[in-house]
Structure 1
Amino acid sequence: MPGSHKLCMIPGPVEFDEAVLAAMAAPATSHVSPNFIETFGSTIELCRKVFLAPNGQPFIIAGSGTLTWDITAANLVEPGENVLVVNTGVFGDWFGECLGVYGANVTHVRAPFGARPSLEEIEKALTAKKYKLITVTHVDTSTSVFVDIKSIAKMVKEKSPDTLIALDGVCSVGAEEIRQEEWGLDVVMTASQKALGTPPGLAIMVVSQRALEVAANRKAEPRTYFGSFKKWLPIMKQYEARKPSYFATPSVQLILALHTSLKQLVDQGMETRFAKHREASKKVKDALEKWGLKLVPHSRDIAANTLSAVYYPDGIKGPELLQKIGAAGVVVAGGLHPEHAAKYFRIGHMNVSAVNEAENGHLDKTLHAIESALKVKRHPSPSL
C-alpha cells in the first residue's frame, strides 16, 4: 500500500520521479513497434548528453551494472594481458575478479579502508609494465570513497597513452562530474537504479571509438556471447537510425522509464545536476559531523557526493539504530565491506532526493529520522 512505503535512502535503488514510474506502467509494447523504436533511439542519443560523450557509442542492455564489467572485460582484454585496478573497496575487488575470469593478469593499487591510492602510487604501478587497461571505481559504494578520475586520466594519457581507461560509474553517473570525452575516458559504466533515476534492470555504458576499434581488432573472439560488442553494436546503431532490430529482447518498460528520466536530466542540465548533488552531500555530511559522527572516508575531499558512509557512534548497536531509523519511515543501508560491515552504515542521496529536496523534503526527513534514532539510550561500553 502507498501509505506503507518507507523512504528509500540507500545507495540505490533510489527514490524515483512519478513520471518515471508512470512510464514503467506502460502496457505491453512490442520492441519493434514504431513508438518504441523512436523512444529507444532517442534514449541512446540522450546518453551521450548525460555522459558528455558526443562521439561515444552508448549501449543499453538488460542486466545490472555488474554486466558492464563483463562486457568491458570480455571485449577489451585478451587472456594474458595486464590490467591495473585502482581499488577503493569491495567493488574494486569484484571488478578485478571479473577481469580475471576473462584471463587478465590483474594488479591492484589499494589503499586502507576509507582512503584512496595517491596519484603517485597509481603512476608508479602504471609505469612498472605495459597495461592494456586501467579500471577506476569512481565512487565505491562500499566505502563512499570518491576517486579523482580527471587527474588519473590526465596522468594515464601522459605516461601510458595506449592504455585504455575504464570508469565504473555505477554510483556516480548522473550526479558526480564526469566529462567522458573531454577527459579521454574509453568506457564509462553505470546502471539504471542510482543517479539515473530508473528502476533496476538496465546495464548502461558509453564506449569510445578508440575502444571499439581495439575490440574489433582482437586476436581472438571475445569469450562472451550475450555481452559481445559485435552482437550489440548493430542493434544500437539500428535503433538510433530508427529502424527495428533484434538480438535479445530489450526491457521495453525500463527503457521507456529511462527515456523519461534522461530527458529530465538533460532538461535540468548536467551542471545543475552536479551542483545539486554537491549541495545535498554537504547538507547530510554537515549534519552527521555536527552530531559527532565520523565519516568513513578519511577526509571530506575524498568523500562521494552520492552517498555518505558513517561509523556507528560508541555505545549504539548498529542493527538497533537501523531499526529505529526504519521505524521513522526511512530506510538506510548497513555497511557492505566484509571486514568492516558491522562498524558503519550508509545513506544514499541521489536523484530526486538530492535535486528536488525543496519539494520533497527527503533529506530533512532522513536526517530527522537519524537524529531521533541517535537519541536512544546508549549501551555502556563493557568494562575492561
Structure 2
Amino acid sequence: MGDRDSVASPASAQTGDSANSGSPAALDASKLNITLAKTLKPLQPIETLRFGQTFSDHMVVATYDPETGWSAPEIKPHGPITLDPACSCFQYGGNVFEGMKAYLGPDGKARLFRPDMNMRRLERSCARLALPPIDGDVVLELVKCLVNLERRWIPKESGYSLYLRPTVIATRPGLGVIASDHAILYILASPTGPYYQMVKPVTLLAVSENVRAWPGGTGGHKVAGNYSPSFLPQRNAAEKGYDQILWLFGEDRRITEAGAMNFFVVVKRDDEDGVDLITAPLDGTILPGVTRASCLALASDPEFLEESSLRLYPQEKVYTLSDIAKWSSEGKLLEALVVGTAVIIGPCNRIGFEGQDIVIPGAGMGPVGTALRKKILDIQEGRTEWKGWGVVCP
C-alpha cells in the first residue's frame, strides 16, 4: 500500500472537561483522535494466519489519571507502549481483557457478535481488580471505530474474522500493594482463521492437583492472572499426549472448564425424549462466556429446536468426572464440546484421568455441536438475523 498522511479528527483539538467539572473525565468516544499510519502493511494469505500472531495497522489507546480522568482516546499506528517498570501491571498483575470478533457478512458489512455481553464483563472485571471505572458502552463505540478503519483486515472467507482484544492494565508507578489509580485502555485487532485449522476433536486430560479457579476468586472474570498458572499443567498434558486440560474442582472432582474454554456434555435422557445439554453453573468459578450463554439460549429456543430438529434440555448444574464416566459406561454420553470465542464450538473425543481414558463416540462433531456451531456462525457471519445478536458496525 502507498504512503498515507498522518491526520487527526476534528476532535483532536478537544480536551477533557475535568478542569471545569472538578471530577475526573469519563471516557468519551466523541473526543476520539485519529492518526493514520503512513504506510499500510500488506495483507497476508489467509491460510498463513495463526491466532493472535498478525496485527492490523492501528490500535486504540486511552489513559486514566486520577486527577484528570480518561484522556481523549486515540486511534494510532499499532506499536509499543512505554511503561514505567514499577507499574502495578508488572508487579501485581492488574490486567483484564476481552476477546471478541468482527465478521464480514455477505452484504459487505462488519458485524460483532453480542458485544454488549463482552462490555458488561469488561466492566465487572475492572471492578473486581479495583481498576479505574470504565464505561463499556464507550469502549464498544471505540471498538466499532477501529473495526471500520481496519475493515480491509477482515477476511471474507467463512470461519475467518478480525479478533479484537480490548485490554485494561494497571499503570500506577510504585511498589505499594494497593489498587492502581492509573490505567491504560488499549484495543488490538488481529485477523485470524479457525482456532483449530480444522474442526477436529480435542483430547482432554482431567486435572485435580491444580485448579483454574476457586470460590471467591477471579474465575468468573476475564483476568490475565487466571491464565498464566495454567501454562505448566497444559505443558504437562501435552507431554502426555493431550491437547488441553479439563479442570476439576473439589474432592468430588466437579467439572469446571476445558483449558480456557467452557465445557458442555450431551447426555441421552432416561426417557429417550431428546438429550440434556449440560454445563457447570455460574458459581463464581466459571467464566460467563458469550458463546456459552448463546448455546444455552439456542438450546431453549423453540424456533432453533424446530429448524434443527433437535430436542434439547439445557441444564446448568454441578456434575462430576464420575458422572461422565457413568454416562459413558451406560452409553448415554453422546458428545462433549469445548466452547469459546476463539474456538466457537469444537468436539472432544477423549478424556484422560489417572491413566484411563473416557472415550466419547464419533469421529468428529455430533449433531448437537454441529447444529449449534452452524447457527452461531450463520449469525456471526451475517447469513441470518437472530434476536439482535449480530451488531453491525455502522
Q: Normalising TM by the smaller chain, what interval?
A: under 0.3
TM-score normalized by structure 2? 0.22
Q: Which has the higher contact order (CA 8 A, sep 6+)?
A: 1
| Structure with the bigger percentage of helix | 1
Say which one has the larger Rg.
Answer: 2
| Structure with the bigger percentage of strand | 2
TM-score normalized by structure 1? 0.23
